[in-house]
A and B are shown apart, each in its own frame.
Chain A
Amino acid sequence: MNSSAVSLKEIVDSAVAAQQGKVGALMPVLHSLQEKLGFIPAEAVPMIALAMNLSRAEVQGVIGFYHDFRTEPGGEHMVQLCRAEACQAMGSRDLELHVKQRLGIDFGETTDDGMFTLEPVYCLGNCACAPSIRINQGTHARISASQFDQLIAGLEAEE
């Protein structure tokens, strides 16, 4: 076993230990791993299963069920575009085309430079001021194509 695998095991074990004895601990464990690692590596699945006395299929099944859990690294910034009805009513279908073109990627993809990952989201609860996007932890309201470009340019300039 190489050194990075050992450290992954340590990370998994400490994430599991932190939720010890809790009802349905697998979800909080997966959230905490994704927060630390940015995604849930395939190698972590048997480790989680062993530490939690679950089958690998159970762990894999949960990771696969929920949209939030990633099985590969994402970009530095997560861009989530709302595709739900209230945003559609304010032009999100056009915004979606623009966003994909501006970033040069489709949903579920990451830009070549590793800066941005684009994901759809179904409602950010900001429906009175649509269309909405979320970049990392921040939600943005009434986003036009040019405002989106400004936000992206701002993040690119930080590099």
Chain B
Amino acid sequence: MSPIKVFVPKDTTACALGADEVAETIAAGAVGRGIEINLVRNGSRGAFWLEPLVEVETESGRIAFGPVTPADVPGLFEAGFPGPADHLLAQGPVDSIDWLASQQRLTFYRAGWIDPVSLDEYRSMGGYKGLQRALEMSAQAIIDEVKESGLRGRGGAAFPTGIKWQTVLDTPAEQKYIVCNADEGDSGTYADRLLMEADPYQLIEGMTIAGLAVGATEGFIYLRSEYPHCQAVLDEAISRAQQAGLLGDSIQGSGRAFKLELRIGAGAYICGEETSLLDSLEGKRGLIRFKPPLPAIAGLLGKPTVVNNVLSLGAISTILADGAAYYRDFGIGRSRGTLTVQLAGNIRRGGLVEVPFGASLRELLEGYGGGTASGRPARAIQVGGPLGAYLPESQWDVTLNYGALTDIGGMLGHGGVVVFDDTVDMAQQARFAMEFCAIESCGKCTPCRVGSVRGVEVIDRVIANQDREFNLKVLADLCNTMDKGSLCAMGGLTPMPVRSAIKHFPEDFGA
């Protein structure tokens, strides 16, 4: 009998919940019972509320158990694990877990199914089909395909990816670059991390296709230092792709070059802004650059550069493999493809939800999130990261797409959804928005650098009820100055959480 395949995710969150210890206990338990197993460390499926989610391969597909702690392992073995054990933690076939089965996984199609660094497994699930096709296409044809797909940048700004690539293609230069912005700094977001840890070749393939499309032979992944496990996975994947001839001087013997290097940030939120990231990649302080010129015209070292988010580049392999129409047919209006929402904060069933654009915030909260973790009523939801608006319950029926959130004074950003229960003090949240801006401002422009410090002081005076009405006016004025006068989104959007907190939760500001 061949060894039974058992899967225990090696993912930051799974490991933060004890997956390494669970894997060790299972391995030791199997040895002790004379059961031959093949323990695979897969990526996570993003159902973090079920992590560590242990899976077993059976003739009728994978079955799952979760959330498993090391203390549960002996009981699992006694109940028949790694067979179909009758146990409290048994979740049945993976395909029947409604939380996962009801999603539409395009970008996260492979996450959790495969050993993240196995090229064979990546290929067995459609990997590198997109590159194969791209190698047979002209640069313009690749870009046309991306344009037709309707893909918009997933980092937050939602700029059409194909148009950005066209600019880089059309700008003549001896050297061009592809830069992946993997500086996923928004609180409440982890989709980039999950993808890179669970399916790193998808990003590598997407970057390679981008290189072919615009004529760039070098690429960089700029990864934040807060993701050490992600760094290890990417290092391994890049090295294996190089050995397999999928990166380097002649991709798959085509004679066309694409080299990829992983770079690590050093704890600066601002480096998620593309021009700041480029300065950091050049070995400088991560200061914002004036735009124009756009990075697509003068980016890294002044050369035309594609700067794309992990999920944007991740979508590329699907678009090239299955065609633009396949991708475009998901979604509504100008929001095409799928939406990746990350349920976070005070939430019972937190995790990554990938669905076609069109679902409402409330549907996701109730259907997937299952209410708050604390069991108390939810009161405020911050959508779109630390620069996103705090939404009161009256706005939770908003459809999650770029336009609908903008219409109510918010933003979708990178799809982070952070839930707060009724113990939240919204004046403190507004204060923190300013404090965070003060800590993370690059310092180049005055509205952001000084405005954020003054913002903390003014909010403190409001909280202390000193000249409340007057200070609220000062704060409104300050928000206006930051919004209109800042060089980038850091200072420009910090007013969004502040204003929304004051507007929707005035009672927390002494009203």
Contacts and interface: CB of A to CB of B under 8 A. Distances in A.
B309 to A, nearest CB: 14
Interface stretch (A82-90, A98-106, A109-117): A82-90
Contact of B190 (A25, A28, A88, A127): A127
Contacts of A25: 283
A127 B345 contact: yes
Interface in B204-240: 220, 225-228
A74 to B, nearest CB: 13
B418 interface: yes
Given A127-B189, A128-B48, A90 B283 contact: no
B221 to A, nearest CB: 13
B386 interface: yes
B17 A129 contact: yes
Main secondary structure of the interface of B (DSSP, over half): mixed
A135 B442 CA distance: 27
A48 B51 CA distance: 45
A35 to B, nearest CB: 11
Nearest to B285: A65
A23 B281 contact: yes
A154 interface: no
Contacts of B285: 61-62, 65
Given A122-B436, A125-B193, A129-B48, A138 B282 contact: no
A89 B420 contact: yes
Contact of A85 (B421, B429, B440): B429
Interface residues on A, range: 35 or more
B68 to A, nearest CB: 14
Interface in B290-308: 300-301
Interface of A: 22-28, 30-31, 58, 61-62, 65-69, 82, 84-90, 93, 121-130, 132, 134, 137-142
Interface of B: 12-13, 15-17, 48-49, 51, 184-190, 193, 220, 225-228, 261, 263-269, 280-286, 300-301, 342-347, 350-352, 373, 382, 386, 416, 418-421, 424, 428-429, 432, 436, 439-440, 442
Closest 8 CB pairs of A and B: A128-B350, A84-B187, A24-B283, A89-B345, A26-B283, A66-B266, A127-B344, A67-B267
28 contacts: A24-B282, A27-B280, A28-B263, A31-B264, A61-B285, A66-B268, A67-B266, A67-B268, A84-B188, A86-B188, A86-B416, A88-B345, A89-B418, A89-B424, A93-B428, A122-B386, A123-B185, A125-B189, A127-B190, A127-B418, A128-B13, A128-B344, A129-B13, A134-B226, A137-B228, A139-B12, A139-B15, A140-B16
